[in-house]
């Protein structure tokens, strides 16, 4: 009897919904603070959009012949906002807490819980206010797509497959970012301190924020590094291309890139899981 109840698998969906609800209750306790956080993250995003409005007042495209003109690039920017806000909502607060857990020895409690440790430390907290940027991203994409599809010259066709594919690749992008973050967070078990590592995460993901064409052609070392070794370049580029650049065969989403994005996602998830498990074995509690 007792044996059986111990072997019983927890319902992961139920647990996650509880986490999400608790976080929402917590956020709603300090409602004014929640509103201010939403306003502040949307203001930063607006500033960023403003920067590109300024840039496109001086140029027609980013990179000659790349097809990233103003509204195509705004779809790209909106996609960046979507991916980033999802990562910030679900994973960022947890990764930050994880290094604290290691430093204070609080990880003991997480290890003792009858649930997968990676699941527990990855999803415990949800930062609902970061979702405001998701709305901003959706609005920006919708606006730009509407403009692209209704323009008189060369209107953009959108197939019924575009949207589901876009959502799939956005999720892939989130998964890749999550894997990277988890791997970096796990290394703090070995290093004890990881302030620089978080900066490192920020600097690496910075490369994902621009169309990959700006780093040169396929053979440029940066592009090889950030496509095949740390695949941050497929995170935003692939979904954004699905929506904004399906027209031109030579520039559109190459089939192998689409397939590669899926392979990279699975590879990243597996690799980060492996790194996380290895790191846990090295964990020594903080106090006696």
d(CA 16, CA 124): 8
Among 213, 252, 257, 260, binds other proteins (CB under 8 A): 213
* 57 contacts other proteins (rule: CB under 8 A): yes
Q: Write down the least CB distance from residue 263 to other proteins, Å.
A: 25
Q: Out of 22, 199, 277, 285, point to the residue binding other proteins (CB under 8 A).
A: 199
> According to CB under 8 A, which one of 1, 6, 13, 54 is a site residue for other proteins?
54
Cβ atoms of residues 183 and 275 within 8 Å: yes
- Find tokens 């997968």 and name the residue: 116
Please identify, using beta-carbon distances, which residue of 74 and 276 lies nearer to other proteins.
74
Q: Is 190 in the site for other proteins (CB under 8 A)?
A: no
Among 18, 43, 104, 277, binds other proteins (CB under 8 A): 43
Binding of residue 47 to other proteins (CB under 8 A): yes
Enter the tokens of residue 97: 């807490």
State which of residues 11, 18, 22, 59 lies at the interface with other proteins (CB under 8 A). Answer: 59
**Shortest spacing between CB 233 and other proteins, in angstroms:** 11
Residues 89-148 that bind other proteins (CB under 8 A): none
CB of 222 to other proteins, least distance (A): 8
Interface residue with other proteins among 215, 245, 268, 272 (CB under 8 A) is: 215
195 near other proteins, judged by CB under 8 A = yes
Q: Which of 17, 24, 28, 51 binds other proteins (CB under 8 A)?
A: 51
**Residue 65 in contact with other proteins, rule: CB under 8 A:** yes
Residue 237 C-beta: closest distance to other proteins, Å: 14
Q: Is 152 in the site for other proteins (CB under 8 A)?
A: no
Listing DSSP states for the chain in one string gives: -HHHHHHPPP-HHHHHHHHHHHHHHHHHHTHHHHHHHHHHHHHHHHHHHHHHHHHHTT-SBSSTTS--BHHHHHHHHHHHHHHHHHHHHHTHHHHHHHHHHHHHTTHHHHHHSSS-HHHHHHHS---GGGHHHHHHHHHHHHHHHHHHHH-SSSPPP--TTHHHHHHHHHHHHHHHHHHHHHHHHHHHHHHS--HHHHHHHHHHHHGGGS-GGGG-STT-HHHHIIIIIS-THHHHHHHHHHHH--S-TTTS--HHHHHHHHHHHHHHHHHHHHHHHHHHHT---S--
**Which residues bind to other proteins, rule: CB under 8 A?**
36, 40, 43-44, 47, 50-51, 54-55, 57-66, 195-196, 199-200, 203, 206-207, 209-211, 213-215, 222
């Amino acid at each position: 009897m007792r044996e059986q109840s111990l072997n019983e698998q927890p319902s992961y969906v139920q647990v996650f919904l509880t986490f999400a609800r608790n976080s929402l209750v917590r956020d709603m306790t300090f409602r004014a603070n929640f509103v201010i956080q939403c306003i502040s993250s949307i203001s930063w995003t607006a500033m960023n959009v403003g920067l590109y409005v300024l840039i496109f007042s001086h140029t027609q495209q980013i990179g000659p012949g790349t097809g990233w003109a103003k509204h195509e690039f705004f779809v790209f920017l909106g996609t960046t906002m979507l991916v980033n806000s999802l990562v910030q909502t679900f994973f960022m607060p947890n990764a930050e807490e994880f290094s604290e857990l290691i430093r204070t020895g609080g990880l003991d409690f997480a290890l003792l819980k009858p649930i997968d440790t990676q699941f527990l430390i990855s999803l415990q907290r949800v930062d609902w206010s970061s979702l405001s940027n998701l709305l901003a991203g959706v609005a920006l994409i919708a606006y730009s797509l509407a403009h692209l599809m209704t323009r008189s010259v060369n209107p953009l066709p959108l197939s019924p497959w575009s949207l589901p594919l876009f959502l799939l690749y956005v999720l892939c992008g989130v998964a890749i970012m999550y894997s990277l973050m988890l791997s970096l967070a796990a290394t703090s078990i070995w290093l004890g301190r990881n302030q620089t590592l978080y900066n490192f995460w920020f600097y690496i993901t910075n490369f994902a924020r621009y169309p990959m064409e700006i780093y040169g052609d396929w053979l440029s070392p940066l592009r090889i590094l950030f496509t095949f070794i740390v695949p941050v370049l497929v995170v935003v580029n692939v979904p954004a291309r699905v929506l904004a650049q399906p027209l031109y065969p030579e520039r559109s989403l190459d089939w192998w890139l689409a397939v590669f994005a899926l392979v990279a996602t699975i590879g990243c998830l597996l690799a980060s899981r492996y790194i996380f498990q290895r790191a846990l074995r090295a964990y020594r509690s903080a106090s006696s």
